[in-house]
């Protein structure tokens, strides 16, 4: 019997690509070139499974292509806001994702950005590299305390809770969170966490605000000019969720006018483009969507896709079915 045909849109860790080659008639993207909408349409027409990732856009006009052979999108990533879920549902196209395995690496990057922003790490690095540093002095580059400060988490799923544990048990931070329903008691007890009744309440009391909600229409510009006005002038905003959760232009204004002290960003509206306004500011730390970028995590993400494909082709129930 011929092997199922699988199309992978970007380069994956070598060990996972080797397994794909052994199991399937697979087309890999050896030179890791970003692909076009027409190439995705053609993949949907010619392969049994297509494995996109978070930087590949699958809107309705791609998913609705005629003469589709593909039955499953095995997404390499936990977020799936780049795929039109309603179109997929209507077309009977299955979607799976990779939850659970990128929790710690993403929480680590959120904590990295919090520390970089609080302690002006990126700015200090630029000072040294530019040979402008003239030596230690008591008032140079003063920054904000992290230990003992209040961390506010918007969204309180796996990644937010992992960050909260690092912040609370490692840095003695107080934890407040907003999520529509209260978190499990054992989580709240472990973190001595307090639930805010609203995002507005959280924004007013947190020294550091970290975003952990999914992307998509429902959360687009959740953090806008009005919300930024509620934050303390000493507060920092951290975003490892999705770029469009924050109105970039409003954040740039807030940073420029020192309405808030700083921001740390791993994700951007219109990624990989980054709003020019951020590049001119010293009080924002910018990373290139590194949340899950450890070899261990990316390998585990690939293994998750493999497990979903194996279940699909065996006619079994899918471990991580989204649609």
Which positions lie near ligand DGY, rule CB under 6 A?
54, 77-79, 102, 289, 291-292
129 catalytically annotated: no
Cα–Cα–Cα angle for 29, 35, 37, rounded to 5 degrees: 140
Nearer to ligand DGY, 7 or 268 (CB): 268
To the query of whether residue 242 is one of the catalytic residues in this protein, the response is yes
Residue 77 beta carbon to ligand DGY: minimum distance, rounded to whole angstroms: 3
Q: Is the dihedral of CA 110, 116, 122, 125 positive or negative?
A: negative
Give 78 or 167: the residue with its C-beta nearer to ligand DGY. 78
Query: Which of 213, 277, 253, 228 shows the shortest CA–CA distance to 81?
Result: 213
Our CB check for ligand DGY shows the closer of 227 and 289 to be 289
Q: Least distance to ligand DGY from the beta carbon of 15, Å?
A: 19
How many helices (H) does the chain have, and how many strands (E)? 14, 12
Which residue out of 168, 271, 303, 321 is catalytically annotated? 271
Q: Closer CB to ligand DGY, residue 155 or residue 291?
A: 291
Q: Which residues contact 121 (CB under 8 A, 6 or more apart)?
A: 115, 285
Task: Output 77 or 152, the one with its CB closest to ligand DGY.
Answer: 77
CB of 90 to ligand DGY, least distance (A): 23
Least CB distance to ligand DGY at residue 275 (A): 19
CA distances from 160 to 55, 63, 155, 192, 311 (A): 22, 32, 7, 14, 29
Quote the distance between the C-alpha of residue 73 and its chain's center: 19
* C-alpha to C-alpha distance for 33 and 29, rounded to whole angstroms: 7
Cα angle: 71, vertex 75, 78; to 5 degrees? 140
Whole-number minimum distance, CB 79 to ligand DGY, in Å? 3
In angstroms, the CA 245 to CA 258 distance is 21
Least CB distance to ligand DGY at residue 26 (A): 21
Residue placing its CB nearer to ligand DGY in the complex, 260 or 301 = 301
Query: Is residue 223 a contact partner of residue 217, using CB atoms and an 8 Å limit?
Result: no
Asked whether 49 and 26 are in contact (CB, 8 A), the reply is no
66: which DSSP letter? Answer: S
Q: Given the residues 120, 242, 269, 298, select the one marked as catalytic.
A: 242
* 169 noted as active-site residue: no
Closest CA to 320 of 87, 106, 74, 84: 74
**Catalytic sites, residue numbers:** 242, 271, 289
């Amino acid at each position: 019997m011929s092997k199922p045909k699988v199309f992978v849109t970007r380069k994956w860790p070598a060990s996972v690509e080797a397994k794909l080659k052994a199991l399937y008639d697979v087309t890999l993207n050896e030179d890791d070139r970003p692909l076009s909408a027409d190439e995705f349409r053609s993949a949907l027409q010619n392969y049994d499974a297509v494995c996109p990732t978070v930087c590949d856009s699958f809107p309705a006009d791609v998913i609705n292509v005629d003469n589709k052979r593909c039955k499953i999108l095995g997404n390499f990533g936990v977020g799936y806001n780049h795929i039109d879920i309603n179109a997929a549902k209507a077309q009977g196209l299955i979607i799976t994702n990779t939850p659970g395995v990128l929790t710690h690496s993403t929480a680590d990057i959120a904590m990295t950005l919090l520390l970089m922003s609080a302690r002006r790490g990126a700015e200090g690095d630029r000072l040294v590299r530019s040979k402008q540093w003239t030596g230690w002095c008591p008032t140079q580059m003063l920054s904000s305390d992290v230990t003992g400060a209040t961390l506010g988490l918007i969204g309180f799923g796996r990644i937010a809770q992992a960050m909260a544990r690092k912040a609370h048990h490692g840095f003695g931070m107080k934890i407040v969170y907003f999520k529509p329903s209260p978190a499990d008691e054992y989580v709240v007890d472990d973190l001595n966490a307090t639930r805010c009744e609203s995002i507005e309440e959280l924004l007013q009391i947190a020294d550091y605000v970290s975003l952990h909600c999914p992307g998509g229409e429902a959360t687009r510009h959740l953090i806008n000019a009005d919300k930024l006005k509620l934050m303390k002038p000493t507060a920092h905003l951290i975003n490892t969720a999705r770029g469009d959760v924050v109105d970039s232009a409003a954040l740039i204004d807030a940073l420029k006018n020192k309405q808030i002290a700083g921001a740390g960003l791993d994700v951007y509206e219109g990624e990989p483009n980054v709003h020019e306004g951020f590049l001119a500011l010293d009080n924002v730390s910018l990373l290139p969507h590194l949340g899950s970028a450890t070899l261990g995590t990316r390998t585990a993400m690939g293994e998750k896709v493999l497990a979903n494909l194996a279940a699909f082709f065996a006619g079994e129930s899918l471990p991580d079915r989204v649609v």
